Amino acid sequence: MASETAGRKKMIRASKRTGEHAAAKPKQKRFDTAFLIIILILLAYGVIMVFSASYPAALQKTGNSLHFISQHVLFVLAGIAAMLLISRIDYHFYRRFAYIIFGVALLLLILVAIPGVGRVLNNARRWIYIGPIGFQPSEIMKFAVIVLFSHLIAHYQKRMGTFKKGVLPFAVVLLVIAVLMMLEPHLSGTILIFGIGCIMMYIGGTKLRYFLAIGGLGVGAIAGIIAFKGVSYITERLQFWLNPFADINDKTWQTVQSLVAIGSGGLLGRGIGASRQKYLYLPEPYNDFIFAIICEELGLIGALFVILLFVLFAVRGFSIASKAPDRFGFMLATGITVQICLQAVLNIAVVTNTIPNTGISLPFFSYGGTAIMMQLGEMGILLNISRHAFMEKT
């Protein structure tokens, strides 16, 4: 506790220097401004690109070229407000409700599977609508898993090395989620949650060899798909991935058009707003494939800048985690940062056809209503953790 007192004193001094009313509000510490700036740059970049990428489709679908961007800006503004608000809520609050949050998320995931409640879009029942606003329970589940895993890892501590504590509870949770999500079906969401979960477990202390078992599960899953859909399905999928131009059909169209957008952008791009692929060639260019439009308009340079921003985000996010005062904070910050970065990596990998096509949106960029609010809410939590970092000088 001594170190904590010292930290607080230092904090007060720091507050005095900046002229804050530290004495009046001792709990309100400065959050990581650099991290906020990175988030804001990502958001601003995203808003510009959503505007550019969405207006032809908006014009085509609704007759109003500002349809998507105006909604997007509203969600972003609401998200920023939520972020700032949440940054003031002590993150330990979530630990207390870890099981409740998970329970609610699980309930929503069950609800969405019920026809009539869950709404089908693009052949998958993934959305629940409350009035005009829709959200994906899987988005909430991501957060719920991060909170729950952070709690469990913080709770088990050294016992994470055992199978009973370090693998079994996590595996059960992930399997339940996987089963529910494959009902929708939602492969990309499942992969993402598995990815986040596994990385958190590994950092939390689960022995690496147990992941071999999970790898075995993956092989089993592939074997299952082969048994269910036949070898040709896999080879066809593989063919679509490795050589999308060989047979341009409904399944390869998006990949082809994405590659054409990226490739024709070249080094410097066609110029902001000058994408041609967004004119109904690339489906939903403002959503999962917005990165391709960035490449087309701003070239490799613009794309590398996006990657740089996410790298900076990761560096800063992990740094916040490291400065967290406790294991729960560390795992929570790590989990949230991993979630964003893993999603970004997978999205860019899909868009560049580095991995086979599966629907993953690009955080902060993709037009996505509640998803972007959810992400910004999580950023609020990270910012809150960063406030504690100053108190816990390590």
List contacts with another protein (CB under 8 A).
Answer: 3, 56, 157, 199, 202-205, 259-267, 274, 276-277, 279-281, 295, 299-300, 303-304, 307, 311, 314, 318, 321-322, 324-327, 329-330, 334, 338, 341, 345, 348-349, 352-354, 392, 394
Strand order in the sheet with 124-130: 118-121, 124-130, 133-135
Which of 171, 333 has the CB closer to another protein?
333
Which of 89, 280 has the CB closer to another protein?
280
How far is Cα 356 from Cα 375, in angstroms, rounded to an integer?
Answer: 25
Which of 7, 368 has the CB closer to another protein?
7
| Concatenated DSSP letters of 168-193 | HHHHHHHHHHHHHHHHTT-HHHHHHH
Query: Where do we find the tokens 């050589």?
Result: 243
Structure token digits, residue 85: 């608000």
- Looking from the CA of 323 toward its CB, the CA atoms found within 13 Å total 21
Which of 136, 150 has the CB closer to another protein?
150
Helices and strands per DSSP (H, E), number in the chain = 15, 3
Minimum distance between the CB of residue 24 and another protein, rounded to whole angstroms?
26
Minimum distance between the CB of residue 374 and another protein, rounded to whole angstroms?
22
- Rounded to whole angstroms, the maximal C-alpha distance in the chain is 69
Which of 134, 241 has the CB closer to another protein?
241
Structure token digits, residue 289: 């494939």
Which of 1, 24 has the CB closer to another protein?
1
How far is Cα 386 from Cα 347, in angstroms, rounded to an integer?
Answer: 27
How far is Cα 375 from Cα 394, in angstroms, rounded to an integer?
Answer: 28
Minimum distance between the CB of residue 165 and another protein, rounded to whole angstroms?
15
State the DSSP code for 22. Answer: T
Minimum distance between the CB of residue 64 and another protein, rounded to whole angstroms?
15
Minimum distance between the CB of residue 138 and another protein, rounded to whole angstroms?
23
Minimum distance between the CB of residue 281 and another protein, rounded to whole angstroms?
5
